[in-house]
């Protein structure tokens, strides 16, 4: 019988990884979301730029989530020293599927939230593991949606709960930075920096939730990836010389025939 996901244990692991790897997670987030904040500041209140801001924000968030999912994969494998360059290496080979899936999910969830709210929250839950499906399993764009739903099935409420708690924590953090910015930041540049700092602190939470949820759902009985359903996967490592099989020994030559008796 499939066990239920623990929201508390999931979030404990999220913040444990956050604390251990903040030195890598935060610099990447700052520079990535600083670019988004600059674009947002330039666009200002001009509605004509709103679609561009939404698209760029979605791409940045999706790219960052892919990087962080790769870091979670390393943590699960026992690696504790991932570098900034490695985070980019995790996401770049699958950047196009990540962006495509992120935009499709953003459109679907956005429409659901605008129209009735509940369908949007439902889609937000069942599509929570799109990035891990692409980064870890190399699923194609459409297949990643199916794979995410497979993993979430039977644990929808705990997954939704983890997402909501992570969102509330991020929302409170962003609100604090917004209040500080409103109180002390007079200039346009300072407001942009504070906006980037708010995203820097809060973005790792949601991204880590996706990666941790993926491995926890697998651990409690989630379906394994179907062989052949994913796209190209990482090639297997070549065996070391010590692991190479020894060539079979040559058979001993037959003894010479005795000369015939005279």
Residue 235 lies in a domain: no
Whether the CB-CB separation of 62 and 99 falls below 8 Å is answered with: yes
Residue 19 lies in a domain: yes
pLDDT, position 134: 96
Q: How many domains does the chain have?
A: 1
pLDDT, position 123: 94
Average pLDDT over residues 132-154: 95
Confidence bin at 254 (pLDDT 50/70/90): low
Reply yes or no on whether the pLDDT at 249 is more than 60: no
Whether the CB-CB separation of 102 and 69 falls below 8 Å is answered with: no
Q: Which among 8, 14, 2 has a CA at the least distance from the CA of 152?
A: 2
Residue 260 lies in a domain: no
Reply yes or no on whether the pLDDT at 239 is more than 80: no
Sign, CA dihedral 20-167-197-33, equals positive
Residue 193 lies in a domain: yes
Give the residue with greater pLDDT, 252 vs 164. 164
Residue 233 lies in a domain: no
Reply yes or no on whether the pLDDT at 237 is more than 50: no
Residue 125 lies in a domain: yes
Give 80-108 pLDDT, tens digit per residue: 888 888 888 889 999 999 999 998 998 99
Confidence bin at 242 (pLDDT 50/70/90): very low
pTM for the predicted model, two decimal places = 0.80
pLDDT, position 232: 41
pLDDT, position 126: 95
Domain range for 179: 7-221
pLDDT, position 255: 54
Residue 240 lies in a domain: no
Residue 242 lies in a domain: no
């Amino acid at each position: 019988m499939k066990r239920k996901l623990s929201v508390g244990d999931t979030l404990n692991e999220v913040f444990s990884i956050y604390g251990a790897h903040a030195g890598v997670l935060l610099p990447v987030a700052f520079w990535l979301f600083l670019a988004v904040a600059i674009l947002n500041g330039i666009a200002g209140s001009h509605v004509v730029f709103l679609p561009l801001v939404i698209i760029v924000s979605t791409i940045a968030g999706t790219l960052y989530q892919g990087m962080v999912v790769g870091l979670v994969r390393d943590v699960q494998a026992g690696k504790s020293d991932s570098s900034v360059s490695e985070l980019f290496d995790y996401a770049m080979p699958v950047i196009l599927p990540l962006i495509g899936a992120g935009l499709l999910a953003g459109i679907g969830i956005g429409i659901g939230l605008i129209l009735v709210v509940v369908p949007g929250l439902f889609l937000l839950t069942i599509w929570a593991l799109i990035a891990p499906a692409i980064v870890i399993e190399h699923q194609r764009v459409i297949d990643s949606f199916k794979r995410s739903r497979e993993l979430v099935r039977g644990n929808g409420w705990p997954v939704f709960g983890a997402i909501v708690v992570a969102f509330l924590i991020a929302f409170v953090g962003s609100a604090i930075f917004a209040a500080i910015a409103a109180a002390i930041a007079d200039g346009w540049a300072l407001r942009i920096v504070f906006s980037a700092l708010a995203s820097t602190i809060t973005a790792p939470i949601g991204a880590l939730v996706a990666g941790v949820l993926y491995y926890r759902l697998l651990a409690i009985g989630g379906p394994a990836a179907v062989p052949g359903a994913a796209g190209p996967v990482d090639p297997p490592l070549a065996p070391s010389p010590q692991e190479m099989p020894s060539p079979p020994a040559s058979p001993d030559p037959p003894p010479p025939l005795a000369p015939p008796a005279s």
